[in-house]
Amino acid sequence: MRQRTLGGRSVGAIGLGAMPLSVEGRPDPEAALTTLHAAIDAGVTLLDTADSYHWHAGETGHNERLIARALAARSPADRANVLVATKGGRGRPGDGSWTVDGRPEHLRRAAEESLRRLGVAAIDLYQL
C-alpha cells in the first residue's frame, strides 16, 4: 500500500473510518472486530474514530472502546504501526442529532476520556 506522512509518521494511504461500526445500523460487536482485524491485516495503518461515534444515549466512546479492544488483541508490532485518530467537540444525545461543543474545558475533558477509552498514554492525532 502506498504510504503518506502524517505528523512525522508513515501511514497507509487508505485508512478506515470506523464510524459505521458504532452508529445506527451497526454490525454486532464480533463482526465489527472482524472488520477492524481484516483492515489491519490488509495493511491499513490509520484508524479514524471519535468519542461521538455511537448510537444510543450513554454510549459515548463506543467506537473508541471497540478500536481499543481490537488493538489489544493484536501484536505489539501491529499496535505500534497503527495510528489512531480521534475527535472531540461533537456530541450525540441519542435522538439521532449532533451537537457541537468546542469549549477548551470540554475538549480537555473529552481528550482525557478518549485517552482512557483507547487505553493509550497519548493520542496519535486529535481533531476538533
Q: Quick one: pLDDT at residue 1?
A: 87
User: Hey, how many other C-beta atoms are within 10 angstroms of the C-beta on 113?
Assistant: 15
- Average the pLDDT over 15-32 and give the result: 97
Mean pLDDT of the chain: 96
**Of 27, 18, 93, 96, the residue nearest 58 (C-alpha):** 93
Each residue of 54-93: pLDDT tens digit? 999 999 999 999 999 999 999 999 999 999 999 999 999 9
Question: How far apart are the two ends of the chain, measured CA to CA in Å?
Answer: 28
- Global pTM reads 0.95
- What CATH number labels 3-127? 3.20.20.100
Cell digits of residue 65: 472502546
Q: Which residues are catalytic?
A: 53
Tell me the domain boundaries of the chain.
3-127
